[in-house]
């Protein structure tokens, strides 16, 4: 059976009806806060994109996209999106937005190769956002500034929810802690005979600080391995920063006391430049992608310089409502064994 964690004596804080109402409150409040904090205009988004254009998010580069042929377009194949990481950059370029302004959208995706557990689902819903920046903004100072603004939105949402549901007591720390993936490796090495895995390091840091942003995800660290996988053609994870480390991207992670583990709420980063795209494609042994439509535009300097990311909607609701399973805040499909185990443990999947 897929991995499932069930804490002892779990009881939802809200009823099913209260949960449905609270999900609406969270989504409405947070997206308005995000929009006004980052100067983002809401736009409509595609559910699928043409195969072979390079527009779809490749995630870690191994996940298969759900595809289907279109009869009225000569059987051309379309792909259900994994996310809109690259589509958004094209969109803000077409909209000719000025520096410091951007877009956000409701992104719905299907990730058929996802390993299903408490926080991973076949169905993915997130706020995808993208902002125009200047070439001179491509540094970690801007990245941190944007992260702090997003974190302020999280803090506001947490209080907004507590004001309506007093049982949900605020737990987010006042400030978010920034740590580079290399620092994480140095700070939490584990035992010499058993070094900690990246996930274990994340959990240790999230438990200690409450909320962290890990910078530099994708490039190899001093142990020869990246902290986590990143596709080579949206986030810039190879550029050297002012402190001599690499990476202009990262993950926003909080401590989840219900799951007794870390929980990633957002992945984001400054996007690749033509130079960093070439380097990252070479490092991942896929230089042939440079001939794809999206990549050609980028390499020719036809796309706006930008920063962007995704914020999981169901995960956010799961965290704020103190739920143990993401299926308590979204409707998806689960293995029969998992549904039975949740039912026996009193976990009401929607």
For the annotated catalytic residues, the residue numbers are: 57, 111, 126, 251, 264, 267
> Burial, 290: exposed, middle or buried (Cβ in 10 Å; 0-12, 13-18, 19+)?
middle
Give the helix, strand, coil percentages of the chain, each rounded to 5: 35, 20, 45
Question: CA-CA distance, 86 to 222, in Å (whole number)?
Answer: 29
Half-sphere exposure of 139 (CA within 13 A, CB side): 8
Question: CA-CA distance, 329 to 350, in Å (whole number)?
Answer: 7
Which DSSP helix (H) or strand (E) runs through 12? none
Q: How far is residue 287 from each of residues 259, 290, 345, measured CA to CA in Å?
A: 40, 6, 49
What pairs with residue 345 in β-bridges? none
Q: How far is residue 25 from each of residues 32, 48, 59, 108, 248, measured CA to CA in Å?
A: 11, 28, 30, 19, 33
Question: CA-CA distance, 221 to 242, in Å (whole number)?
Answer: 17
Largest CA distance in the chain: 60
Retrieve residue 205's tokens: 């840091």
In 3D, which of 45, 60, 40 has the Cα closest to residue 114?
Answer: 60
């Amino acid at each position: 059976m897929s991995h499932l964690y069930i804490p002892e004596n779990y009881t939802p804080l809200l009823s099913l009806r209260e949960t449905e109402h609270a999900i609406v409150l969270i989504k409405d409040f947070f997206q308005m806060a995000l929009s006004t904090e980052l100067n983002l205009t809401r736009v409509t988004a595609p559910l699928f994109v043409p195969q072979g254009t390079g527009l779809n998010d490749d995630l870690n580069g191994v996940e298969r996209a759900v595809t289907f042929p279109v009869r009225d377009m000569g059987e051309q194949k379309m792909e259900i999106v994994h996310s809109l990481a690259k589509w958004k950059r094209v969109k803000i370029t077409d909209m000719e937005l000025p520096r410091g302004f951007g877009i956000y959208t409701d992104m719905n995706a299907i990730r058929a190769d996802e390993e299903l557990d408490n926080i991973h689902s076949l169905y993915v819903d997130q706020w995808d956002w993208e902002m125009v920046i200047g070439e001179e903004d491509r540094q970690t100072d801007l990245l941190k500034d944007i992260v702090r603004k997003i974190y302020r939105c999280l803090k506001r949402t947490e209080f907004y929810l507590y004001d309506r549901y007093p049982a949900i007591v605020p737990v987010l720390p006042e400030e978010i802690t920034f740590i580079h993936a290399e620092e994480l490796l140095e700070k939490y090495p584990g035992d010499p005979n058993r070094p900690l895995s990246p996930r274990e390091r994340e959990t240790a840091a999230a438990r200690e600080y409450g909320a962290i942003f890990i910078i530099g995800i994708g490039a190899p660290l001093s142990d020869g391995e990246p902290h986590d996988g990143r596709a080579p053609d949206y986030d810039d994870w190879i550029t050297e920063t002012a402190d001599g480390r690499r990476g202009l991207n990262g993950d926003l992670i909080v401590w989840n006391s219900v799951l007794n583990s870390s929980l990633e709420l957002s992945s984001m980063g400054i996007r690749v430049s033509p130079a960093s795209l070439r380097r990252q494609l070479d490092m991942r042994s896929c230089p042939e992608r440079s001939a794809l439509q999206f990549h050609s535009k980028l390499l020719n300097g036809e796309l706006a310089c930008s920063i962007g990311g995704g914020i999981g909607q169901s995960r956010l609701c799961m965290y704020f409502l103190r739920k143990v399973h993401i299926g308590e805040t979204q409707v998806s499909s689960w293995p029969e064994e998992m549904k039975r185990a949740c039912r026996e443990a009193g976990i009401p999947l929607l």
